[in-house]
Amino acid sequence: MTPIDPIVWIIVGGVVALAAILTTVLVVRNRRQRELTRRDRRPIEAPAARPEAPVEPGAREAAVEAPAPAPTADRPEAAGTRLARLRRRLAGSNNVLAQALLGLISTDRLDADTWDDFEATLIGSDLGVGPTTELVDTLRKELSIDGVNDPTRARTVLREELVKLADPTLDRTLNVTGSAGLPAVVLVVGVNGTGKTTTVGKLARLLVAEGKTVLLGAADTFRAAASEQLQTWGDRVGVETVRGAEGADPASVAFDAVNTGADKGVDVVLVDTAGRLHNKSNLMDELGKIRRVIEKRAPITECLLLLDATTGQNGLIQARVFNEVTDVTGIVLSKLDGSAKGGIVVQVQRELGVPVKLIGLGEGVDDLAPFTAEGFVDGLLGE
C-alpha cells in the first residue's frame, strides 16, 4: 500500500475543519433568527399608565365638548339625583320669582303695598296679567280669612294655587314610540340660539339610557357649526348622526335621517332644524316642506318647540308664530336656570294650548328634566 502523502492529510484536515466552522456559524445564526422571530411574536405590552394630571376647574366640561372616539354612551345621572339638583338650581338665589313668593309667605303683615309689589314681581316673571290677577285674588281671599300668621298655611295655599296655574292635568308624555315598525320621529323647532341642538343631544342621551336606539338628523344646514355640534353630541352619546353639506336642503337631510333610521330599525329619530325666523311665510314653507318630506317615510310623533325662558315676551311672540305655522305638540323651556322668568311656563301653556314637556336648567349634559307642575312649584318654593 502506497503511504498517503502528508500534503493530502493536511488538505483533508483543512476541509474538515472549515466544514465544522461553517456548520457552527450556521447553527448559531439560525438559533438567533429563531429567537428574534419568537420575540417579535410576543404580544405588545401596554405602556404603564401615566398618573392622571390634576384637573383644572372647568376642564372636564371642555373635554366633554370633544367628540368621544368610542361609540359607547355614558350613562346619565340617576333621575332622582338629577331632579333634586335641578330643583335646587330652580330655587337659586337669583330667581326673583322664588324670592318674591317666599317673601310673601314669610311676611307677618300683608298691606296694600306688599300686594302691589307681589303683583309687579309676578308680572315681571312673565306669569302674564291674567294668571297674576287670578293668583293674587285667590291668595288675598284665602289669606285674609286665615291671615299669614301661620306661615305653613300660607305656604300650602300658595303651593296649591301655583300648581293649579301650572296645570297638573296636562298630558306631558313625550311620544317617542313609533308604530308599524317605523321609528318615532321627534322634530325640534325654534328660533336660533334657543337651545335646539343642545336639547337634541341631551334628549338623545336620556333615550339611550332608557335602552332606546336613536339616530340624529342634522337638518340645521344653515349654520355649518350646528351639524358639527350635533355630530359631537351623537359621538358622545354613541349614536349615528346623519348630516348634509352646508347649505343643503334641510328637508332632504331630514328625509335621509328618517329613511336611514327606518332602514336600520332604530326606535327614535331626532331631527334638529335651523328654524330661521326670516318671515312667517318663509318659515311656514321651510317647516312645511320638512314635515311633508319626512312624513313620506314615517309620521312625526312629536314636534317640540324650544323657547328660551330669558327672552320673555319676545320668545312668546316667536312661539306663537311657530305654533301657527307648524303643529307643535310640546314645549321645551330652556335656560330656566338663573332666569327670573319662570312664570312663562304658565303663560306659554295658556296662550299656545300646548304643555311644557321638558325644561332646560343649564348647559351641562344632564341639565334637562321632564316638567311636572308639582316638581316645578316645589323647586320654586325650595321644598
Ligand X SMILES: Nc1nc2c(ncn2[C@@H]2O[C@H](COP(=O)(O)OP(=O)(O)OP(=O)(O)O)[C@@H](O)[C@H]2O)c(=O)[nH]1
| Residue 231 lies near ligand X (rule: CB under 6 A) | no
Sorted by sequence, the CB contacts under 8 Å of residue 254 that are 6+ apart come out as 187, 217, 219, 271, 273, 290, 293, 294
Q: Residue 380's closest CA among 49, 30, 86?
A: 86
Residue nearest to ligand X according to CB distances in the complex: 360
From 15-23, 26-34, 166-174, 189-197, give the range in contact with ligand X by CB under 6 A: 189-197
Is the Cβ of residue 86 or residue 300 nearer to ligand X in the bound state? 86
Q: Which stretch binds ligand X (CB under 6 A): 102-110, 131-139, 316-324, 330-338?
A: 330-338
Binding mask 331-350 for ligand X (x = CB under 6 A): ---xx-x-------------
| Least distance in angstroms from the C-beta of 319 to ligand X | 13
Cell numbers linked to 335: 335656560
Q: Cell 318654593 belongs to which residue?
A: 381
Distance of closest approach, residue 350 Cβ to ligand X, in angstroms: 22
Which of 128, 131, 195, 261 is in the footprint of ligand X by CB under 6 A?
195
How many C-beta neighbours within 10 Å does residue 45 have?
6
131 makes contact with ligand X (CB under 6 A): no
Q: Report the residue number, 161 or 337, with the smaller CB distance to ligand X.
A: 337
- Closer CB to ligand X, 161 or 308, in the complex: 308
**Could you tell me where the DSSP H helices lie in 125-195?**
129-146, 151-166
Distance (Å, rounded) from C-alpha 252 to C-alpha 132? Answer: 45
Q: Are 235 and 276 in contact (CB under 8 A)?
A: no
Q: Which of 121, 132, 198, 311 binds ligand X (CB under 6 A)?
A: 198
In terms of CB distance, is 273 or 347 closer to ligand X? 273
Please state the closest distance from residue 335 (CB atom) to ligand X, in A: 4
Least separation in angstroms between residue 134's CB and ligand X is: 28
Q: Show contacts with ligand X in window 306-325 (CB under 6 A).
A: 306
Task: Indicate the residue among 131 and 250 with the shorter CB distance to ligand X.
Answer: 250
Q: 132, 194, 311, 329: which one contacts ligand X (CB under 6 A)?
A: 194
| 362 forms part of the interface with ligand X (CB under 6 A) | yes
- φ/ψ of 16, rounded to 5, equals -60, -45
Are the C-beta atoms of residues 307 and 333 closer than 8 Å to each other?
A: yes
Q: Which of 361, 369, 377, 381 binds ligand X (CB under 6 A)?
A: 361
Residues 380 and 162: beta-carbon distance below 8 Å: yes
Enter the DSSP assignment of 310.
G
Residues near ligand X (CB under 6 A), total = 21
Partners of 173 in beta bridges: none
- Interatomic CA distance for residues 22 and 19, integer angstroms: 5
172 secondary structure, DSSP code: -
Site string for ligand X, 268-307 (x = CB under 6 A): ------x-------------------------------x-
Distance between CA atoms of 114 and 95, rounded to whole angstroms?
19
DSSP string, 268-302: EEEEEE----S-HHHHHHHHHHHHHHHTTTS---E
Question: Which of 254, 262, 240 lies closest to 183 in space, CA to CA?
Answer: 262
Q: Which helix (H) or strand (E) holds 318?
A: helix 312-325
Q: Please check whether residue 254 is in contact with residue 219, taking contact to mean a CB–CB distance below 8 angstroms.
A: yes
Smallest distance, Å, CB 94 to ligand X? 12
Known binding residues for GTP are 190-197, 272-276, 334-337
Q: Shortest gap between Cβ of 367 and ligand X (angstroms)? A: 6
Q: Does 223 bind ligand X (CB under 6 A)?
A: yes
Give the one residue of 196, 243, 291, 341 binding ligand X; rule: CB under 6 A.
Answer: 196
Which residues are CB-contacts of 41 (< 8 A; sequence separation ≥ 6)?
none
Residues near ligand X (CB under 6 A) are 190, 192-198, 220, 223, 226, 274, 306, 334-335, 337, 360-363, 367
